[in-house]
Chains A and B, each alone.
Chain A
Amino acid sequence: MAAGDVDTAAVLVAKLVIPTHRQGRVTTIQRWLRWLDDRSGTEGHPTVAVLAALFWALMGRPVESERWADAVDRWQYGDPARPSDPSTEAWAAVMRTFLCRRGVEQMRADADEAVRRFAAQSFVTPAPAFLQGIARVLCGDLDGGDASLEDGISVAEEVGAHEDLAIALCERSLAAIASGDWGRAEALAERARTVLRQAGIEESYATPLVSAVQARTVLHRGDLSAARRELVSAQRLRHLLTYALPYLAVQARIELARAHIAVADLAGARMLMREVDDLLRRRPGLGTLVDEARAIRACLAKNRDPTIAGASALTAAELRLLPMLSTHLSFPEIAEEMFLSRHTIKSEAISLYRKLGTSSRSQAVARSRELGLLDG
């Protein structure tokens, strides 16, 4: 294939990634990006690098996302004489906001820049406003944040950006909870869930936050079984929220931890808070979330009741292993597939069986299906 063909493909990919992603065709995008990556097809096409950094972040693949984000930074800051490219500059600001690699104050500055740049080009997309809303909230500006989120919601509805819309609705629902308006909070959370359901993208990076917020609102009116269903749904998908989307990863876990505490599952809450600690070690500057995490930690430290480590205390590693157990792969084969040692797989599997209250692989798979941790 000639170099010109690769260039043409890169231009097409840059154009098609967002609409294709909105259709939920993620495997197709992965194939395109890998194809271009293998042929160094992103050189000279920084838009593709920006979109790749965003895409891998949404897929829960932080290492790939970081690699592309670094490439964008090199393009933007490494060559002052590069030709002007306002559209990519605008998307790069969205990417920096989205990935929040340098704390929430910088996130807010990047969000403001993204809003300005998109407005200058008269390009309508919900991401800048909704990210600006989140950044403001995280910096403690609740009113300013709410106004931006409202803007983001109206644009997201217009262009059919379902995941952005669901998250913005959740953020507003959390603001309603904070002000004690539970009725409004529940309506917003329900709307977020409906958006994902109607779009057929219930297995999304937005799902853990939607489930967390719904769990909290249904718990407030005492519906324990609905809350437990939401917690299982969040548990299945929380691996998608990594340090590549640090504020969402921490926020969703904090809300889930609150819900676990409310259903008296302290082991589950502690597992989530350990993940929060790990995320905050990598991304410490997360504003108000740092204080929220501290408050939950203090609450858990006060409560000394030991709890048995059950299904809710499955670690992230164990949750990743779970779908592999339902295949016909042997432990050594799973180890190879997951780039882990055989010993680790065996050890994780035993711990998983114990937490699920089972004693064999098939029982563990069956139990996980009953609990809703696996499809089928």
Chain B
Amino acid sequence: MVQMAGFQETLRRLAMIDEGFVEDQAGVGLCLTRTSALDPKVAALLQLGAAVAIGSPAVCLEWSATRALATGASEDEIADVLLVIAPVVGLGRVVCAAPDVATALGYDIAAALEEMD
């Protein structure tokens, strides 16, 4: 195994959102239980909505959706986040995000569209 240079390690871990690394090194708190009024699932779904709204890259969307799943959100709830934010953030943002969110749910839209049913 090749030893990576420090900057390579940093950039890799940022690019894939290594949660421990981001919290410790970038000082970004990722904990979903910081507030008492919102339960972790609602917090995770809101964060996913916000990530879609600001046009986050694929890896952020996949990570946000995976976190939402881990807090107990269902696939339907995650897909509904895209639907409910569409009137506010615009259809374009939501359409862009759909394939990446789908990937986090184990659904390959590109392959599915190619396949015969």
Q: Taking beta carbons and an 8 Å cutoff, which residues of A are in contact with B?
A: 266-267, 270-271, 274, 277, 300-301, 304-309, 313, 315-317, 339-341, 343-344, 347-348, 350-351, 353-354, 357, 359-360, 362-363, 366
| Contact status A347-B32, CB under 8 Å | no
| Interface contacts beyond A271-B69, A304-B39: sample of 18 additional A-B pairs, CB < 8 Å, sorted by A | A266-B70, A270-B70, A304-B72, A309-B66, A341-B108, A341-B111, A343-B58, A343-B99, A343-B103, A344-B103, A347-B62, A347-B100, A350-B15, A351-B62, A351-B104, A354-B17, A359-B16, A359-B18
Q: Which of B9, B19, B69, B111 contacts A354 (CB 8 A)?
A: B19
**Can you pick out 27 interface pairs between chain A and chain B where the beta carbons lie within 8 Å of each other?**
A266-B72, A267-B69, A270-B69, A270-B72, A271-B69, A274-B69, A306-B44, A306-B70, A309-B66, A313-B69, A339-B111, A343-B103, A344-B108, A347-B104, A348-B103, A350-B16, A350-B62, A351-B62, A351-B63, A354-B16, A357-B20, A359-B4, A359-B18, A360-B1, A360-B4, A360-B12, A362-B2
| Contact status A274-B110, CB under 8 Å | no
- Could you tell me how many residues of chain B have their Cβ less than 8 Å away from some Cβ of chain A? 39
Chain B, residues 35-60, CB within 8 Å of chain A (1/0): the string is 00001110010000000000000110
| Contact status A267-B70, CB under 8 Å | yes
Q: Verify if B80 is at the interface (C-beta below 8 Å from A).
A: no
| Contact status A347-B58, CB under 8 Å | yes
Chain A residues whose C-beta falls within 8 Å of the C-beta of B18 in the assembled complex: 354, 357, 359
Nearest B-chain residue to A268, judged by Cβ = B70
- How far is it, in angstroms, between the C-alpha of A130 and the C-alpha of B74 when the chains are bound? 35
- How far is it, in angstroms, between the C-alpha of A304 and the C-alpha of B66 when the chains are bound? 16
Q: Taking beta carbons and an 8 Å cutoff, which residues of B are in contact with A?
A: 1-2, 4, 9, 12-13, 15-20, 31-33, 39-41, 44, 58-59, 62-63, 66-67, 69-72, 74-75, 99-100, 103-104, 106, 108, 110-111
Chain A residues whose C-beta falls within 8 Å of the C-beta of B70 in the assembled complex: 266-267, 270, 306-309, 313
Q: Count A-B pairs with CB separation below 8 Å.
A: 91
Chain B residues whose C-beta falls within 8 Å of the C-beta of A340 in the assembled complex: 108, 111
Nearest B-chain residue to A308, judged by Cβ = B19
Query: How far apart are B26's CB and chain A's nearest CB, in angstroms?
Result: 15
Chain B residues whose C-beta falls within 8 Å of the C-beta of A357 in the assembled complex: 18, 20
Chain A residues whose C-beta falls within 8 Å of the C-beta of B2 in the assembled complex: 362
| Contact status B41-A304, CB under 8 Å | yes
Q: Which of B1, B17, B67, B99 contacts A366 (CB 8 A)?
A: B1
Q: Which are the 6 A-B pairs with shortest beta-carbon distances? A: A341-B110, A306-B40, A267-B70, A309-B70, A344-B108, A359-B12
Chain B residues whose C-beta falls within 8 Å of the C-beta of A362 in the assembled complex: 1-2
Chain A residues whose C-beta falls within 8 Å of the C-beta of B32 in the assembled complex: 306
- How far is it, in angstroms, between the C-alpha of A308 and the C-alpha of B1 when the chains are bound? 27
Chain A residues whose C-beta falls within 8 Å of the C-beta of B99 in the assembled complex: 343
Question: With A343-B99, A354-B16 known to touch, is A306 a contact of B71 (CB < 8 Å)?
Answer: yes
Chain A residues whose C-beta falls within 8 Å of the C-beta of B44 in the assembled complex: 306
Chain B residues whose C-beta falls within 8 Å of the C-beta of A267 in the assembled complex: 69-70
Nearest B-chain residue to A300, judged by Cβ = B72
Chain B residues whose C-beta falls within 8 Å of the C-beta of A316 in the assembled complex: 106
Chain A residues whose C-beta falls within 8 Å of the C-beta of B17 in the assembled complex: 354
The listed residue with most A CB atoms (<10 A of its CB), out of B67, B69, B72, B108, is B72
Chain A residues whose C-beta falls within 8 Å of the C-beta of B16 in the assembled complex: 350, 353-354, 359
| Contact status A350-B41, CB under 8 Å | no
Query: How far apart are A275's CB and chain B's nearest CB, in angstroms?
Result: 9
Nearest B-chain residue to A342, judged by Cβ = B110
- How far is it, in angstroms, between the C-alpha of A301 and the C-alpha of B72 when the chains are bound? 7
Query: How far apart are A176's CB and chain B's nearest CB, in angstroms?
Result: 31
| Contact status A347-B103, CB under 8 Å | yes
| Contact status B62-A344, CB under 8 Å | no
| Contact status A304-B20, CB under 8 Å | no
Chain B residues whose C-beta falls within 8 Å of the C-beta of A344 in the assembled complex: 103, 108, 110-111
- How far is it, in angstroms, between the C-alpha of A344 and the C-alpha of B58 when the chains are bound? 10
